[in-house]
Amino acid sequence: RNRCCAVPTVLCLSLPGAQKNIPWEVQRYDGWYNNLQHHSRGSVGSRFLRLLPANYADGVYQALQEPHVPNARQLSNTVAQGPSGLPSKRNTTVLAVFFGFHVLSDILGTEKPGCPAEFLNIHIPEGDPVFDPAGTGDVVLPFQRIHWALETGQSPNSPREQTNEVTGWLDGSSIYGPSHSWSDALRNFSNGQLASGPGGHVPRETDGKVPMWKALDPSTGQGGPRGIYDLGNAWGNENLFLQAMSIAWFRYHNYLASELAKNHPSWSDEDIFQHARKRVIATFQSIVLYEWLPALLGTPVQDYTGYQQHMDPSLSPEFVAAARIFLATMVPPGAYKRDPKCHLRNVSNSGGPFPVVRLCNSYWSRESTGMQQEDVDDLLLGMSSQIAEREDSIVVEDLQDYWYGPLKYSRTDYVASWLQRGRDLGLPTYNQARERFGLKPLQDWTKLDPHSQQKVLEVAALYANNTARLELIPGGMLEDDSPLFRTIILDQFVRLRDGDRFWFENIKNGLFTAKEVEEIRNTTFRDVLAAVTYSQQAELQNSVFVWSNGDPCPQPQQLTAQLLANCTPMTVLDYFEGSGAGFGIIIIVLCCLPLVSLFVAWIIAILRERDFKKLQKQKKASVRREVTGEAIQGEWHGPKTDSSLVYIQLQADKVLKVLDGRGLVLRCVSLKAQQKVEVILSSNKGNKALLLKSPKEYDLVLFFSEEAERSSFFGKLQDYLKTNCLELHVSEMKEQSLLKRAVTQEQRRRILETFFRHLFAQMLDIDKTDAGELNFESSQKAKESLTCELSRAEFAEALGLKANSMFVDSMFSLADKDGNGYISFREFLDILVVFMKGSSEEKSKLMFRMYDIDENGFLSKEEFLRMLRSFIEISNNCLSREQAEQVTESMFQVSGFQDRDELTWEDFHYMLRDHDNELRLTQLCIKGVPEVFKQNVHNRVSFIKKEPRGPKSRHCSLTHRPGGSCILNLLFFFYTRANQYQLHLYTEAQRKKYQQNRVQQKIQEFKRFIENYRRHIVCVVLFSAITTGLFVERAYYYAFASPSTGITQTTFVGIIISRGSAACISFMYSYILLTMCRNLITILRETFLNCYIPFDAAVDFHRWIAMAALVFSVLHTAGHLVNVYIFSVTPLSVLSCLFSSVFMNDGSQLPQKYYWWFFQTIPGMTGVLLLILLAVMYVFATHHFRRVSFQAFWITHHLYVLLYVLVIIHGSYALIQQPRFHIYFIIPALIYGADKLLSLSRKKVEISVLKAELLPSGVTHLRFQRPQDFDYKSGQWVRIACMALGTSEYHPFTLTSAPHEDTLSLHIRAVGPWTTRLRELYSPESLALIGKLPKLYLDGPFGEGHQEWHKFEVSVLVGGGIGVTPFASILKDLVFKSSINSKLMCKKIYFIWVTRTQRQFEWLADIIREVEEADRNELVSVHIYITQLAEKFDLRTTMLYICERHFQKVLNKSLFTGLRSITHFGRPPFVPFFDSLQEVHPEVHKIGVFSCGPPGMTKSVEKACQQLNKKDQAYFAHHYENF
């Protein structure tokens, strides 16, 4: 059909103004520069024009709310409720109503929420039949305030002014969009057409390029782009009727463009588009002003008199509310669909087919997808012949109760919402508006609407019968025929016309000629519909906005809600529905990250230990033994324990040996004392178990792989017993009963524990409640405790010795009076009484009997030597036989028995005459005896008491007090006795002592603590204060001082915690780098700053910062977990305010799910990666894993580079605030970088090793070239790497060379994989293969507290194990400086060497020997403590002490070390030792204590210093280093 014939006057004639080049000024899409004096008038984002002062509660921005104004829902029910179905007084059609909404969408955009989000929520009265049918009274419909100009609302002089989000001109922005980019997105750039979907009758569905509003369909809950078309107005798809109106204008543009293309084939796409757009806008303007507006208002519009430049056409808030409400009162509950022949079309619905489209079920409908031309045409035709609702206060339920809802509510009240919107806009009162527009103010309520007196009175009651309080919207709605609304609307459109420079009637703008203007004025909406639908003009009435009698296709009846399908009721969305489990799982996973890291570290530790054991096995190169005997699948040790593969050897001497896979003897089962051997076999579960009862020991339970294997072993056992004349008793029972019958090793241990409890209880008369009564509930096993007998192995275990030692053999033979191979309760008690309560004569007689092997009453030299060697066994045979013979001969000679080969007991006791007191104190220590008994043993621990002897010398007497352990602790006594062979350590105290009460002691202790740690305290307090200040500053900023973005109101707690902790983390993770600037610390510790900053505590401070940073990291994570949850339940309209760069409010209101925040954002992903990184770094940095696998620690700790990269990326996204990490990071990073470059410059230099020596105890001595300009101080350390090991990791070691030496030396003990491999590398075998000494890489030196030994007049050096290495350097340095008469502040050094056995560090003994020879001024006093003796049998400790003192007295050197330094047995008594120093050096006010060794030892030293610092005497400053 030729559509041109429908509008012959428009396009059938040539257009004289149409040229290839566009000669007119093209109107901007965004409304700018319409007025050349006021460029922004009517533009997108321009403010509304207030015709009256704003009516706000505070005069600025706070909206009026209850109780100042009525409840919005209650007022809506009072004003707007009523029966539907009353026709318009002017027979206005439904098409006119929705055309009006389309016009408003062209000039008005108020749907965009304001930022930050503010709410004027609508409280629903209790029992509301629609919104609160349950009568809970707690239903609140959210209502968000619209966008406003941020520069307004700051003072009463500038109250809040809202903005218009579209152009305020009738410029077709609802067709072409409010911006150039929007318009371009709607075009297909072909023949001037707007892009269309399939068929070309409707626009294309949105693809996200155009920001169309996509609210959820309240009737189905559907969302997304489906059924949403790209239109010029974002809200053009709000309902099917408005959508049809938008599609009509879309078609009209394409219709004109196609006609222009036909008539002007040479025109470009842009030419065609702009000509069509110009004509569409002009037609739209003409229809609005001269056809639709008079039909709507029933009032003609005055003639156009020309463009008025000074008129402000801006939209007023009064117009915004009046137009919306006036049109809303005319909206029907639905609309008919008909064809040109007046046939109604049924609409499918859930309740069945209806001839009407129900309004409440068509909001944001997604059913319009794939819409055909007929669907839109039928709806447009149906609306054109359907009469609208009456212009009164009644609003149909489709709007009043079932308008599409905001946020999580699917429905809301349109009228109540616009009442709140009016308050949001600050509308004037009803009377103020009437006066402004020349109408009389209301004085009498009855004159408001004479036809609705009851409704008026109800409204009056809500306003307390005060007409001055009546608001504009309810007042205008209640008016008869709405004079106020009509006046406001007419005034606005006239101003829009007269103030528009591009108005089509303005001849001066060059858009149209007078003839074209006339043609446009003659074009009606009927012509538009005829051009874009399949209807002919004859099938439409002359004015489609008004229906008159005789017009075609009258409506069947006026629609009422009762005739239509029911509205879908309100639903409430739960944004977090279905997310709880996943969110909880993520939290659990994040919490388990350290556990996972711990598990990985544990696996690595196991693998490293396994590799290390393999390395040790290879190192030992032991010859593998061939194990003979019966292979058994496993020996059962008890419940919840693993079985182990064993071999059984049947020995000829009635002994069964149990061996492991390596051939080592695990236990021996003696059958000598048994006449009958009991064996129990299992009778179920495959008959695989065998139990061999061992009455006086724990039983042997064997599991075989199969019954045949057990039968084979049992047969051999039978033959073996028969051969040895032993009777066999065999029985069977179920496996479970067999295992219950068996006495396990653990049960035997408990029996022996009870045995020893009652042994000591009987001997020492201890209350049996302390010993523990026997438990008769556990069958026969508990009753056997007192009747059990100890085997030789159990006896040796009780004494902590080996079963095959000479001492055990002698003692066991002596105690086993009946010779049955076991010691009974009575036999043990007899010998124990002698040790615990006997006199010195009885103890010496007992020892004499023990070693009188042939029992002839004499002790030969060989037997004496055997006794001595049994004592020496405890020190791992540290003395040779020649040394032992030398001691024996010396002791015989001193006692006058040099000519005798045998001793009587009297001679033996005479030999020990000088040590009678020690023998008297000798006791027996039994392993496993509880502390309660040890505390009751009246042992005696010695301490020092001075008695003046003379001006130059003194003697020491012993005073005793009860308490202590069951081990004979003669350490203090040894210490005093040592002085007669050594430098006099103790002198008279010159300091006056004061008795202090407990409070004074605590005060003194606190003062000393402050004195000792004042630098640490200041640094920690300062650092903590800065951290706290940063947290408080950020928390306060976001709580009270930040720009009003709304994020604080959204997640107050979460944002405060996360931002405050983020500032702390940024500070800590930045400045923690300074604690690792080793070169800088080494330099600064030699400056005055060392008086104020504890540089020696850099590593401890590093750990402290790291732990604090970890706490804040967890706090930061917790804050963000709160944020993520809140953001996951926060509507999109709020999120788009908070994160405008991330979210765009498209009306869907659906927020992103929690996993989006975690895994689809840069901060989220980097945050998760940071947590994983921290979990790995912190777990591998713990002491245990650092010790087990230093390489893993080294690798994981170097992930700090990745950590900082992720932190920078994490904050660079600027999701909440601009990046701030660089503020803290730049300075520390530059300093650390410079320090690192210095280290790298040194690391690149290879150092030649001059000598490599493998010393005993796994110590490797390396002597290597000293680099040029390598200056260091004694006590400093370096880091070395050896590339020959295939790794670049650096390990720290203390230099053992002195600064004056030309070379550097290290003593490295092989305790881990790296040091073990290093020892192997420098072994003679490896060097023979390599041919040369592998080179090293050196980094250092670095300072520590030990280098300050020379700053104290008196220094105490305490070294334990390999921890003596720094003191080797210090001792050599001290002696060298003393030998050259160098001026030293240090006047005396006490060196305490604590070692398990002196053989472990014989290299140090050589250094001490050199020191003793070079120490002419007696600056150094050396004390060596061999600790392994303190754990063994005290009788032997006593005898070794006697031998040691004798050797020292005769030869002036130690029996064990060969040094002049006295050797002590046991652990050093630090408290008495330090206490004596206070008296020896009364003039010294500060003594330096430097310790290096295991943590246990350094803690003991620290406790001793703390205890003595409580006194008002010399102050002990402790510096320690653990390894």
Residue range 759-775, pLDDT digits in tens: 666 655 544 444 444 44
- Given this model, what pLDDT does residue 1433 score? 40
CA–CA distance, 465 with 446 (Å, rounded to integer):
11
Judged by average pLDDT, the poorest of 60-64, 493-497, 1519-1523 is 1519-1523
Q: 567-596, pLDDT tens digit by residue?
A: 999 999 988 888 889 999 999 999 999 899
pLDDT tier for residue 697 given thresholds of 50, 70 and 90: confident
Say how many CA atoms lie within 13 Å of 345 toward its Cβ: 19
Q: Stretch 855-874: mean pLDDT, rounded?
A: 71
Q: Stretch 228-241: mean pLDDT, rounded?
A: 93
Q: 523-570, pLDDT tens digit by residue?
A: 999 999 999 999 988 889 999 999 999 899 999 999 998 888 889 999
Q: For a pLDDT cut of 70, what percent of the chain falls above it?
A: 83
CA–CA distance, 851 with 902 (Å, rounded to integer):
12
Q: What angle do CA 260, 106, 217 make, to 5 degrees?
A: 110
- Given this model, what pLDDT does residue 966 score? 28
CA–CA distance, 219 with 221 (Å, rounded to integer):
6
DSSP 8-state symbol, 148: B
Is the pLDDT at 800 greater than 60? The verdict is no
What type of residue is 1321?
L
Residue 514 three-state SS: helix
The candidate with the shortest Cα–Cα distance to 883, out of 900, 871, 901, 895, is: 871
CA–CA distance, 714 with 1092 (Å, rounded to integer):
79
Q: Which two tokens stand for residue 278?
A: 């110009």
Q: 298-317, pLDDT tens digit by residue?
A: 999 999 999 999 999 999 99
- 743 by Cβ neighbours in 10 Å (0-12 / 13-18 / 19+) ranks as buried
Q: 1117-1169, pLDDT tens digit by residue?
A: 999 999 999 989 988 888 888 888 888 888 888 888 988 989 988 999 999 99
Are residues 846 and 814 in contact, defined by beta-carbon separation less than 8 angstroms?
yes
Q: What residues are paired with 948 via a beta bridge?
A: 954
Q: Which two tokens stand for residue 1272?
A: 């260091």
Q: Which two tokens stand for residue 44?
A: 């997108």
- Given this model, what pLDDT does residue 428 score? 96
Is the pLDDT at 153 greater than 50? The verdict is yes
Q: What residues are paired with 471 via a beta bridge?
A: 429
Q: 1219-1238, pLDDT tens digit by residue?
A: 888 888 999 999 999 988 88
Is the pLDDT at 342 greater than 60? The verdict is yes
The candidate with the shortest Cα–Cα distance to 471, out of 314, 317, 297, is: 317
Q: Stretch 1481-1499: mean pLDDT, rounded?
A: 84
CA–CA distance, 116 with 145 (Å, rounded to integer):
10
Judged by average pLDDT, the poorest of 821-830, 832-841, 1040-1049, 1292-1301 is 832-841
Strands 941-948 and 954-961: antiparallel
Q: What is the DSSP secondary-structure string of 1106-1146?
A: HHHHHHHHHHHHHHHHHHHHHHHTS-HHHHHHHTTTT----
Strands 1515-1522 and 902-903: unpaired
- Given this model, what pLDDT does residue 263 score? 92
- Given this model, what pLDDT does residue 250 score? 96
CA 335 to chain centre: 59
| CA atoms 316, 322, 328, 330: torsion sign | negative
- Given this model, what pLDDT does residue 761 score? 65
pLDDT tier for residue 974 given thresholds of 50, 70 and 90: very low
Are residues 784 and 824 in contact, defined by beta-carbon separation less than 8 angstroms?
no
Judged by average pLDDT, the poorest of 108-117, 672-681, 1089-1098 is 1089-1098
Three-state SS annotation for 394-407: CCCHHHHCCEECCC
Q: Is the peptide bond before 1495 cis (omega within 30 degrees of 0)?
A: no
Are residues 1138 and 1128 in contact, defined by beta-carbon separation less than 8 angstroms?
no
- Given this model, what pLDDT does residue 946 score? 36
Q: How many helices (H) and strands (E) does the chain have?
A: 52, 31
